Amino acid sequence: MTEAQSAPRAPAASQRVALMITCLADMFYPEVGERIVRLLRGLGVEVTLPAGQTCCGLPLFNSGYHDEAASVARRTASLFRDADAVVVPSGSCAWMVKHEYPGLLRGGADATAAERLAERTWEFSQFLVRRLGRTAFESDVEGPLAYHDSCHLLRGLNEGAAPRTLLANLKGAQVVPLPGSDECCGFGGSFSVRLPEVSTSILERKLANLEASGASCLVACDAGCLMQIRGGLARRNSPLRALHLAEILK
Amino acid sequence: MTEPIVSTPLRERATKALGDRFLHEALDIATTKFIALRREAFGNFPEGEHLRDRARAIKEATLQRLDTHLETLVANVERLGGHVHFATTAEEARDVIVDIARRTGARMAVKSKSMATEEIHLNEALQAIGVTPVETDLGEYIIQLAHERPSHIIAPAIHKTKGQVAELFSRELKRPGLPADPEVLTKIAREELREKFLQADLGITGANFAVADTGTVVLVTNEGNGRMATSLPRVHVAVMGVEKIIPSMTDLAVFLAILAKSATGQKLSVYTTLVQGPRRPGELEGPDEFHLVLLDNGRIAQLAGTLRESLYCLRCGACLNVCPVYRQIGGHAYGYTYPGPIGILLTAMLNGPRSVKDLSHASSLCGACADACPVRIDIPRMLVELRREVDDKGIAPWTERVVFKTFARVLRSPRLYRWGARIGRTAQRPFVRGGRIRALPFFFGAWTRTRDLPPVAARTFQERWREL
Amino acid sequence: MSSKTDFLTRIRTEMAKTRGLFAASSAERPAQPAQRLDLLRRELSERWPQTLERFRAEFELVAGVFHRVATAAEVPAALERICRERHARKLVAWPAEDLGVAIAPALAGAGIAVESMPRAAVADTERRRLRGVIADADLGVTGADLAVAETGTLVLVSAAGRPRSTSLLPPCHVAVFDREALVESLEHLGLALEAWHEGVPPAERGAVINFITGPSRTADIELTLTRGVHGPKEIHAIFVDGGLSRHG
């Protein structure tokens, strides 16, 4: 059961959602953001973008700089103050907001804002399936797809089902199982550069599993995972691809 | 403080481990099997989830009344004719055991596997007074011959291939040409050690639980050496962390239902041995003296500390098997007695935050450990807390602190953030080829040595928003 | 050297600083375990065939060898068959009163020596001799206080006449039991343990209780399973349909 299931489903039309673009998508994968916006608008959802977004603060939090993380969280929470619903293209950022914001900002002026934001935030696949109740899409990509569970989405937000439902219902797509789909890709934020050899070794295992799956494309719901996996595939000049779920759905 | 802080940086130790082909193969085989066994065991056990919750609750509840339970345990062990000793430090624990060995005229001690005795470095202390400690658990026997330390909490020699074990036995036991056959090698260990069991003066074990209500010390084993060490020699010493106390036999049944399943996928380990003091007057066998050494060594301080939850640990090793880092580097690279995810927390508990300056970052925070833990210890949460402690206490390099504080400033200011994107775009130009970055200087090389990087987009999403 | 007071003082100091992580309680214990165990036994006696079947399946899953005989009188013959198959000539055994059946005379007739363990205390020299006998034996015969169906586990409480190593040192262990020993689950085992410790334990009870689930094993080398590491390589259970005689 996902935490987000406590909120009621709402029909797509007359829905309004604020997009938390995340620093990685903003800087490196803006096309993912664009596709999300087009997709949601196509479903009749109005998408707003609170201005001046930076980061959810997860990198600061994970490295133990909690005061600094709180200062960034405060700002982000305040930016999304007026949103009825917030959608995030990354499992890790959604986790940060839902799981850690309330604790980080407890006792301060933004405590209530943080609690409310935590309740109203959805990771992208969760938003489609659980909030909008939309599961049927067409595939925009050829070749067999394999889904990689990003750790924060799977274990942090208890969400292994929503992305799989979307892929299973994807018209014109073949989905194959990925061995060790629930195994970490080795990104882990600063871990990827603090212990780069170990991070790469973990990545190699993921890539070997991808090759074994017979898929031509790996699908994930986290920019961090994608940066790591694409980085490895590109370095090998691999014909295999790694895409965000939003880049698959049409 | 138990162990000296390892001076070689973790990254170096880890990289060295990654280069060990045999280790890589051995780890892959072992951890993959362990994972499958555990999954199957719990897959066939619908009550498992509920029992895990109950086990976790029992651990927490016990800590909330640890003083009472400790008193009850001591009273009952003494009523049964046993002796209880209280060791605040590793040194005290060693001293009391050495004392017992001396007083009872022991010349040889058989040891059943005990991470607690590894933690206090007992063997060296025994050797120093002329008592030969003989490890009898097959995995411990192997590493004792190899002069190594355990690399896994329940399978100490898991880093060795059977070929390596055969070679080791051939060399150290003077039996040249042994085949790489686990059956043959196990039979040899059985032969070599049988005599030792029968002749030993002293049996030293750990303990998985101590049931306060009945003064019972519980050993969970598979080989039979635990039974031998607690029945054949005339003195038995059990060393146990104070957090292993549980209130009752009913509680014990809850833990037994999930412990072996988590560790090896067995419904129960082959032997569960309940020791209730020295042998009774009518008994043919059993020690004349029973000693329980209760070990603090940093545990009590965590009752109100950030690592309290790690006191629930059953030492099953499930977290090691699923950890992406452990699976790549193995146990020795961690550098201390306890490896793997829980090992990092225990290292901090025993040796202080300085010992986990690097280790607290030996994790991608994937959470697989918390998932696998039978008592649902939230290891990632505490790893982050340790990182925080390392930062707050100035143990992390000041340069890092500066970088993160600057980073936070940028993230609080949309203007600085936008500038950051622009600077990135400019700075990256010489390095972008064919839409990718393949090499970057300095610190960033840590990524690009093995992976490509995407370039900062020509226009960020927020910059494109107006046109969407 | 630290004292109990040192520990308690420090524990209490730390405990005072925190209420803990969440509201929790340890397992609820039965108020009158001996009575409850009695009740449980009566319930179980109605369905002992199913419990036995489950025990057999689990026992075999952990590589136990299961035998079944109609009456206690057939136990020696079953034992003899087991002995012949592995050329066992020297046995150690619990005495007849503890086994619930006499085996020595019949086996002696078949040329198999059975040393029964003494029920009374013996001199140190005798203890040493017996240790040698047990260590030399080919097979050890015991009873079982409980047979837990859920896991195929035999529970043996040590006592005078029931020394621990009869089921440990010889390479083959045979346990003889009847329906009285059967319980279904680890939960029942917990109840039995509570019951056995309610009040003062009987004088002849020993200081160790062993749960035995299959033959001794290890997987310490490359996770390859091997049996008979230090303990027995084989374990057999002989179930006696008609029951064993109980001593007082």
User: What is the domain partition of chain C in residue ranges?
Assistant: 31-240
- Sequence-distant (6+) residues with CB within 8 A of B263 are B38, B154, B269, B316, B317, B318
**What's the gap between Cα B314 and its chain centre?**
10
Residues of B in Cβ contact (< 8 Å) with C27: 54, 58, 247-248, 250-251, 253-254
A218 with A116, same domain? no
CA B396 to chain centre: 24
Neighbours of B (≥3 Cβ pairs closer than 8 A)?
A: A, C
Contacts of C138 (CB under 8 A, 6+ apart): C83, C86, C87, C88, C89, C90, C91, C170, C171, C172
Q: Tally the C-alpha atoms within 13 A of residue A77's C-alpha that lie toward its C-beta.
A: 29
Among residues 365-384 of chain B, which lie with CB inside 8 Å of chain C? none
Query: Which listed CATH number (3.40.190.10, 3.40.50.10420, 3.40.50.720, 3.30.360.10) goes with C31-240?
Result: 3.40.50.10420
DSSP of B393-414, one letter per residue?
Answer: TT-S-HHHHHHHHHHHHHHH-H
Q: Which CATH number is correct for B47-295, 3.40.50.300, 2.60.40.1840, 3.30.70.380, 3.40.50.10420?
A: 3.40.50.10420
Q: Within this chain, do residues A170 and A118 fall inside the same structural domain, yes or no?
A: no
Distance of CA B285 to the CA centre of its chain: 33
A28 and A126 co-located in one domain:
yes
Q: Which of A98, A131, A164 is the last residue of a domain?
A: A131
Q: What is the mean pLDDT of chain C?
A: 96
Which residue from C4, C27, C211 is facing B74, i.e. has the nearest CB?
C4
Rounded-to-5 percentages of helix, strand, coil across chain C: 40, 25, 40
Q: Is residue A140 part of a domain?
A: no
* Residues A21 and A123 placed together within one structural domain of the fold: yes
Q: How many CB pairs below 8 Å do chains A and B form together?
A: 186
Mean pLDDT of A74-92: 96
Residues A34 and A124 in one domain: yes
What ipTM does this complex have? 0.97
**What interhelical angle do B138-145 and B162-172 show, nearest 10?**
60
CATH 1.10.1060 domain range(s) in chain B: 12-44+311-396
Which two structure tokens, joined as six digits, stand for C3?
């004292």
- What range does the domain containing A105 cover? 15-131
Report the CATH number of the B12-44+311-396 domain: 1.10.1060
Contacts C212 to B, Cβ<8 Å: 270-271
Paired residues of C135 in beta bridges: none
Neighbours of chain C (3+ CB pairs under 8 A): B
Largest distance between two CA atoms of chain A: 52
Q: How many helices (H) and strands (E) does chain C have?
A: 8, 12
CA distance to partner chain A, nearest, from residue B72 (Å): 38
Work out the widest C-alpha separation in chain B, in whole angstroms: 92
pLDDT tens sequence for chain B (468 residues): 578 999 999 999 999 999 999 999 999 999 999 999 999 999 999 999 999 999 999 999 999 999 999 999 999 999 999 999 999 999 999 999 999 999 999 999 999 999 999 999 999 999 999 999 999 999 999 999 999 999 999 999 999 989 999 999 999 999 999 999 999 999 999 999 999 999 999 999 999 999 999 999 999 999 999 999 999 999 999 999 999 999 999 999 999 999 999 999 999 999 999 999 999 988 999 999 999 999 999 999 999 999 999 999 999 999 999 999 999 999 999 999 999 999 999 999 999 999 999 999 999 999 999 999 999 999 999 999 999 999 999 999 999 999 999 999 999 999 999 999 999 999 999 999 888 999 888 878 899 999 999 999 999 999 999 998
| Chain B interface, best mutation among C218, C233, C235, by max B CB count within 10 A | C218
Answer whether C213 sits within 8 Å of B271, measured CB to CB.
yes
- Asked if the C-beta of B393 comes within 8 angstroms of chain A's C-beta atoms, the answer is no
B60 → closest Cβ in C20, C159, C194? C20
Among C18, C223, C231, select the one facing B223 at the smallest CB separation.
Answer: C231
Q: Which residue's structure tokens are 């489609």?
A: A128
Q: Are B307 and B338 in contact (CB under 8 A)?
A: no
Q: Which chain C residues are closer than 8 Å to B277 by Cβ?
A: 207
Q: Note whether B460 contacts A: Cβ–Cβ < 8 A.
A: yes
Q: Of the candidates A131, A164, A184, which is a domain's last residue?
A: A131
Say if A7 falls within a structural domain: no
Report helix, strand or coil for C49: helix
Q: Does A4 reside within a domain?
A: no
Rounded Cα gap, residues A116 and B255, in angstroms? 39
Chain B residue with minimum CA distance to C193: B249
The residue among A104, A131, A158 that closes a domain is: A131
Tens of pLDDT, residues A209-243: 999 999 999 999 999 999 999 999 999 999 999 99
Residue numbers in B near A235 (CB within 8 A): 438, 450-452
Residues A84 and A188 in one domain: no
Taking the C-alpha atoms of residue B344 and residue B349, their distance in angstroms, rounded to an integer, is 9
With an 8 Å Cβ cutoff, are B461 and A195 in contact? no
Distance (Å, whole) CA C68 – CA A234: 66
Same domain, A98 and A177: no
- CB contacts of C207 in chain B (<8 Å) are 80, 275-280, 283, 286, 290
**In DSSP terms, which residues pair with B111 in a beta bridge?**
B135, B204
The reply to whether A185 and A114 lie within a common domain is: no
Give domain status of residue A10, yes or no: no
Residues of C in contact with B303 (CB under 8 A): 11, 14-15, 17-18
SS (H, E, C) chain A: CCHHHHCCCCCCCCEEEEECCCHHHHHHCHHHHHHHHHHHHHCCEEEECCCCCCCCCHHHHHCCCHHHHHHHHHHHHHHCCCCCCEEECCHHHHHHHHHHHHHHCCCCCCHHHHHHHHHHEEEHHHHHHHHCCCCCCEECCCCCEEECCCHHHHHHCCCCHHHHHHHHCCECCCECCCCCCCCCCCCCCCHHHHCHHHHHHHHHHHHHHHHHHCCCEEEECCHHHHHHHHHHHHHCCCCCEEEEHHHCEC
pLDDT of residue B442: 81
Q: How confident is the model at residue A1 (pLDDT cuts 50, 70, 90)?
A: very low
Check which CATH number belongs to the domain holding A69 and give it.
Answer: 3.40.50
255-274 of B, contacting C, C-beta below 8 A: 256-257, 264, 266-274
- Structural domain count, chain A: 2
Tell me how far apart the alpha carbons of residues B374 and B259 are, in angstroms, rounded to a whole number: 7
Residue C207 and residue B232: Cβ atoms within 8 Å?
no
Q: Within this chain, do residues A126 and A43 fall inside the same structural domain, yes or no? A: yes
Q: Residue C231 and residue B224: Cβ atoms within 8 Å?
A: yes
